[in-house]
Amino acid sequence: MQSYSTKSGDYFAHARREIEPLLPHECGRVLEIGCGSGATLGWLRQDHHAARTVGVEIAEEAAGKARGFADEVHCLDFEQHDLPSGPQKFDLVLCLDVLEHMVDPWAVVGRLATQYLDAGGTLLVSLPNVRHYSVVLPLLFGGRWNYEDAGLLDRTHLRFFTKASAKALLAHPQFGQVTCTAAGFDDWSVKSTLNAMTLGVFQELVTYQYFLSASKVR
């Protein structure tokens, strides 16, 4: 992964409550890769009664804060290292806005599927959509591809995904069907209304982020 030394504290701070509709009935043992300051793990432990919460975070300061929310937090680069005690089995693995920062996210997904997910366990992933109009239009009409401190063109992103390539990332032999959900269309909004009026033709251009889940076949 790229260095996170220039990221602000807010980058790591917030619980990802928008994943709630995608959570399994029982979270059980949870592993989060890129847990930030631990807010999501703390929320799962408190509100969803996760039996065990383990975080991996590459940024030392954020990992230190996460230890106050999770049962166990390891500060390491998961691309390069397994957990100190070796691969363990989890019922839920979270990779929320983290795989795009990796050199080889396909290999990481493979390790999670074979070594870390228990049979019937769920991998839940969020990925930014590089086909969003805020990226496509400046590139198409102005030749601009300007990296930023955060967002779709975060300068620490190493990989970029569309809906199709995001689903392909989770197409591992040990996973069943991959579910892909476009973020931001659940409640009424101008975006969701326009999407309905145009029969979803432009949905991929106005989708900022995808949530994907896959369960390990028993």
Reported confidence tier of residue 14, pLDDT bands at 50, 70, 90: confident
Q: Which helix (H) or strand (E) holds 182?
A: strand 179-182
Give the mean pLDDT of 157-169.
98
CATH of domain 11-127+159-183+209-215: 3.40.50.150
Domain borders along the chain are 11-127+159-183+209-215
Q: Could you count the other beta carbons within 10 Å of the beta carbon of residue 184?
A: 15
Torsion of CA 53, 65, 56, 129, to 10 degrees: 100
Sheet holding 209-215, edge to edge: 72-75, 52-57, 29-33, 90-96, 117-128, 209-215, 179-182
Q: pTM for the full model?
A: 0.89
User: Over 60: is that where the pLDDT of 104 sits?
Assistant: yes
pLDDT-based confidence at residue 2 (cuts at 50, 70, 90):
very low
Band of residue 58 on the pLDDT scale cut at 50, 70, 90: very high
Residues in the chain: 218
pLDDT greater than 90 at residue 154: yes
For the residues 70-76, what does the mean pLDDT come to? 97
Share of the chain above pLDDT 70, in %: 86
**Could you tell me what percentage of the chain is helix, strand and coil, using 3-state DSSP and rounding each to the nearest 5?**
30, 25, 45
Q: Is the pLDDT of residue 185 over 80?
A: no
For range 93-109, the mean pLDDT? 98
Place 1 in a pLDDT band, splitting at 50, 70 and 90. very low
